[in-house]
Amino acid sequence: MKNILQQLSERQSLSEAEMQDAMDHIFSPEVTDSEIAAFLIGLKTKGETVEEIAGIVHSLRKRSMKFNKKIPNILDNCGTGGDGSKSFNISTTSAFVIAAAGIPVAKHGNRSVSSKTGSADVLEHLGINLNLSVERTEEILDEIGIAFLFAPHVHPQIKRIMKVRQDLRIPTTFNLIGPLINPVQLDHQLLGIYRRDLVEMFAEVLQTLGRKRAVVLNGAGYMDEASLQGDNYLAILKDDRITARTLHPEEVGLSVYSNEEIRGGDSKENAEILYKVLKGEKGGYRETVLLNAGIGIFTGGKANSIREGVKAAQEIIDTGAALNKLEQLIQLSKISKEKVI
């Protein structure tokens, strides 16, 4: 561990293999919390590379719960959080729309980060079981095309690292990699990130991790979701090429709303917002979901453009298909209460 910390202190980058070796040390009981903290700070100070992040991801996924069933064309739309926007649960609401478009969604998530209520908080309020077994999660994915993976449940070995990260009280690499360590092998990914300077780099990471198609975005106002407030910055991975572009909501037929107009509340309030959107209520919450779900539908290959994806999202909500996905997940989760680890 001393050599690794020395290398980072001298601003020398690690190869992907070296990073996986470093992570093996991090998980060793002989390594102290101080050494883990020094590792996190050293990596942050030096600046992470694509190879280093990929090495961390491979190491963490190796230690997660094992999802062995290959479901084709599966997608996650988890964001990093950390933008401080206090928005409602945009990606969680959008996930049901994306799933209803025929794209299997393995929604990775956690409790609150940048909003008052994280995806896990609102889904738990709705009665969805956060601690299903691998087998039951795969069954639900097969049956209805959407399942939720609660990060602390599917990554039981990283509690110590997360505690050190929280004790540091400053953002590190581990505040950003949550969306990358979904234990399900993804084909597609929509990843919102609160740091605009890392958008293209994270698209390169997803390319390295083998995604067929992906969009990494930073929203107007530096949200980790696409925003109606103005220009959003996107890096699109398609056909093994990455292209960057900006996207304004008016380009895809949507209105402009400020980020303050889509703030959420506690788990009860956010669950109510989620239901209202999926039931078709008009306004800024709905249009924010249309934008994010539209990008997700494009990412999953069910639309040839984001504008076409937004139009599909409108139809999906208005026919009740997205609401039906939510109700199916709630019902199957209730049935599954016994099938937990």
* Contact yes or no for 122/92 (Cβ under 8 A): yes
Say if residue 133 carries a ligand binding annotation.
Answer: no
Say if residue 82 carries a ligand binding annotation.
Answer: yes
Task: Please give the Cα distance from 289 to 227 (Å, whole number).
Answer: 9
DSSP-derived 3-state class of residue 260: helix
Q: Which tokens is 21 given? A: 């070796």
Q: What values do phi and psi take at 282, rounded to 5? A: -80, 160
Say if residue 113 carries a ligand binding annotation.
Answer: yes
Say if residue 305 carries a ligand binding annotation.
Answer: no
Say if residue 225 carries a ligand binding annotation.
Answer: yes
Say if residue 79 carries a ligand binding annotation.
Answer: yes
Q: How many CB atoms lie under 10 A from the CB of residue 177?
A: 17
Say if residue 227 carries a ligand binding annotation.
Answer: no
Task: Please give the Cα distance from 322 to 319 (Å, whole number).
Answer: 8
**How would you classify the pairing of strands 232-238 and 213-218?**
antiparallel
Task: Please give the Cα distance from 289 to 301 (Å, whole number).
Answer: 18
Q: 17: buried, middle or exposed (CB in 10 Å: 19+, 13-18, 0-12)? A: exposed
Task: Please give the Cα distance from 243 to 99 (Å, whole number).
Answer: 26
Say if residue 91 carries a ligand binding annotation.
Answer: yes
Say if residue 301 carries a ligand binding annotation.
Answer: no
Q: 171: buried, middle or exposed (CB in 10 Å: 19+, 13-18, 0-12)? A: middle
Residue located via tokens 């092998």? 185
Q: Computed over its alpha carbons, how large is the radius of gyration of the chain? A: 19
DSSP-derived 3-state class of residue 201: helix
Say if residue 97 carries a ligand binding annotation.
Answer: no
DSSP-derived 3-state class of residue 95: helix
Q: Which residues are annotated as a binding site?
A: 79, 82-83, 87, 89-92, 107-115, 119, 165, 224-225
Q: Detail the residues annotated as belonging to a binding site for anthranilate.
A: 79, 110, 165
Which residue numbers belong to the known binding site for 5-phospho-alpha-D-ribose 1-diphosphate? Answer: 79, 82-83, 87, 89-92, 107-115, 119
Binding-site residue set for Mg(2+): 91, 224-225
